[in-house]
């Protein structure tokens, strides 16, 4: 069975999609850790940052640029936000389909933890 993010990409599982193009999709995280918590995901299944190859350079860069665009869409571009890749179990990665967390929208400045 396809991974949950592939199912969302194929519209076989529900998600609140906020951005979509030929190569990338972005949707709301079901367990948000902040007022804005979006996952930016390539449509091609790649397990993790550890599996990125040189040929994926453009796609990897696009993930950041799409995150920036979505930050603008949610009006958190001026206040600021975090972009996070969890990598592997030790890095807190639970879903083995590479994704970039866009997190923000706090009323006050985020405190480093």
Contact with ligand AMP (CB under 6 A): which of 4, 17, 34, 83?
4
Angle at 49 between CA 46 and CA 50, to 5 degrees: 95
Q: Which of 37, 97, 99, 101 is catalytic?
A: 99
Cα end-to-end span (Å), the chain: 37
Question: Is the Cα torsion angle 7, 13, 16, 19 positive or negative in sign?
Answer: positive
φ and ψ at residue 50, rounded to 5 degrees: -60, -20
By CB atoms closer than 10 A (0-12, 13-18, 19+), residue 29 is middle
> Is residue 30 at the binding interface for ligand AMP, with CB under 6 A as the rule?
yes
45 versus 62: smaller Cβ distance to Zn ion: 45
Q: How far is the CB of 68 from ligand AMP (least distance, A)?
A: 19
Contact with ligand AMP (CB under 6 A): which of 3, 43, 86, 106?
86
4 versus 60: smaller Cβ distance to ligand AMP: 4
> Is residue 3 at the binding interface for Zn ion, with CB under 5 A as the rule?
yes
Angle at 36 between CA 35 and CA 41, to 5 degrees: 150
Q: Which of ligand AMP, Zn ion, none interacts with 45 (beta carbon under 5 to 8 A by kind)?
A: Zn ion
Q: Which residues are catalytic?
A: 99
Give contact residues for ligand AMP (rule: CB under 6 A). 4, 13, 15, 27, 29-31, 39, 86, 92-95
């Amino acid at each position: 069975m396809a991974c949950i993010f592939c199912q969302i990409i194929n519209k076989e599982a529900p998600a609140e999609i906020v951005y979509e193009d030929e190569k990338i999709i972005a949707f709301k995280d079901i367990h948000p850790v902040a007022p804005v918590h979006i996952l930016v995901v390539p449509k091609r299944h790649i397990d993790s940052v550890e599996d990125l190859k040189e040929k994926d350079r453009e796609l990897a860069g696009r993930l950041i640029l799409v995150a920036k665009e979505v930050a603008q869409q949610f009006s958190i571009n001026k206040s600021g936000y975090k972009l996070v890749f969890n990598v592997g179990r030790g890095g807190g990665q639970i879903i083995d389909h590479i994704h970039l967390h866009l997190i923000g929208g706090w009323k006050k400045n985020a405190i480093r933890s």
